[in-house]
A = this chain, B = another copy of it.
Amino acid sequence: MVAIVPKLQINSLRLHTDFTELAQIGHTANGGISRVALSNEDLEARAWFANQIEEAGFFVRDDEVGNLSGVLPSKAKHAQTLLIGSHLDTVPNGGQYDGAIGVLAGLECMRAISDAGIDLPFHLEVISFTDEEGWWQSFFGSMGLTGTLKSHHINDAQQDNAAFRAALYRAGILVSEVDRAIRPMDDLCGYLELHIEQSARLEQARKNIGVITGVVGRSAYVYTFYGEGTSAATTHVNDRCDALQGAALFITKMHALIAEEYPDGIVNCGNIEVQPGTFNVIPAEARLRVECRHQDRTTLLEIESRLVEMAHTIADTYRLSVKVEEMYKREVAIMDEHLMTLIEGICDEQHLSHQRMVSYAGHDAQILSPFTPTAMIFIPSKDGISHNPREYTEWHDVENGANVLLSTILRLASEKV
C-alpha cells in the first residue's frame, strides 16, 4: 500500500469532457435535459457511463434494481466499500448538473486515485442510483440497495403500475428479483454525495461549499373541501357553500403561517382541482395537495397539525366540510457528524469558505444515512435555479466540490490505514 498523496487533485479537463458528453444525452431544444428514469435517454446514459467505467479500467457492477457502479477494488483483506455517487436520471426538461455532477466527480476521483497508484483500504465504488427523481418511484435504487423498497412502492393499489412494470422489465429489472439488490450494510463503510445546492443560500452567503447536516423531513397531505354545487347565477351570497373559497383562504393562510412562525419550514401547494369545474356552478369540491418540509421532526408534526386545524376552522367559516388524508411521509435524515467535521477541515485546508446547511430537497443520501455514515457536499447553484434548463453552476465550483470529495476519500483512507 502506497502512501496517501494529500495534494492529489482531480483532472478538471477530463471531468469537463465527461460532463459535456453526458449533457448530449437527452438534451432538449432549450438547453435542458430530459433523461427520466428508465427512458431511452436514461438507458443511453447508463450505457455511456458503463463504457466510461470500463475505459478507465474499473469493474462495471449492476444490481437487481438497476443501480450502475464502477468499482476500484482494494487489495486489503475483508475490505469494506466506500460508496460515492448520485444519479444520472433527471426530471423532464431539467438541468445538466443535478445528479450528473455527483456521479461524474465520483468517477473522476476514482481515476485520479487509480492514476496515482494509490491502494485504498476500502473498495471505492462510484454509483448511479435508479430513479432518484421519482419519475416512477423516488429513490428506487437507493431504497432497493438498503432494503427499504417495499412491495407497495411497485404494486401501489391506488394507481395503475402497468407502465412502471413495463419500463422496469424493459430496463432488465425483474420485480421478482429486486430483493436480491439488498446489500449487507456491514459491507459499507460510508456514502459520500456531491450535489449542486438547488437553492441560493451559498451564492447569497458567498460560500464555496455547503456541508449538509441533514435532509428535511417531508410530508404530503391532500385536503379536500366539500361545498354545494348550486347555480352560480341564482344562489344568494349568504346561501353559498363554495369549496374553492375555502381552499383559496387556506392557501393564503397556510403560506402566511409558515412565513410568520416557521421561517425554516417549506410548504407548497402545487395544484388544485375543482369539481364540477364549470363557470356557472359554485365549486362543490376543491382538492389540493400540500407538501410540507422541516428539518426538525417535532416541528414538522406541529406544522402538520396546525394546518389540519386551520383547514377545519376555514371549512366551518364557509359552511364546508373538509377531508384530510396523509399521502406521504419521509423522516428527517441526519448526516454523520464525524464526516461533517472532516469535510470542514478539508475546506479550511483548501482555503474554501463553507457553511453547514440543511437540504430541503431529497437525495439518495437520506436513504443511505440510517445505515452507513453519510455525508453530502453542496456547491452553489446560480440564482438557486434547479429542475430547469437554466440550472447552472460555475465550473470552478464543480472543481472545488470534486476536489473536496477526493480529499475526503483520501482522508478516510488515511484514517483506516
Contacts and interface: CB of A to CB of B under 8 A. Distances in A.
Interface in A260-313: 263, 266, 268-272, 274, 276-283, 289, 291, 293
A145 to B, nearest CB: 23
| Copies of this polypeptide in the complex | 2
A12 interface: no
Contact of A235 (B199, B216, B245, B249): B199
Interface string A97-135: 000000000000000000000000000000000000000
Nearest to A229: B388
Contacts of A151: none
Nearest to A98: B231
A281 to B, nearest CB: 6
A360 B252 contact: no
A197 interface: yes
A200 B239 contact: yes
Contacts of A231: 198-199, 361, 386-387
A285 B362 CA distance: 25
Interface residues of A, number: 55
Contacts of A280: 268, 270, 291
B277 A281 contact: no
B233 A198 contact: yes
A135 B125 CA distance: 64
Given A252-B248, A279-B220, A279-B289, A230 B387 contact: yes
A346 interface: no
Contacts of A269: 244, 283
A174 to B, nearest CB: 29
A130 to B, nearest CB: 19
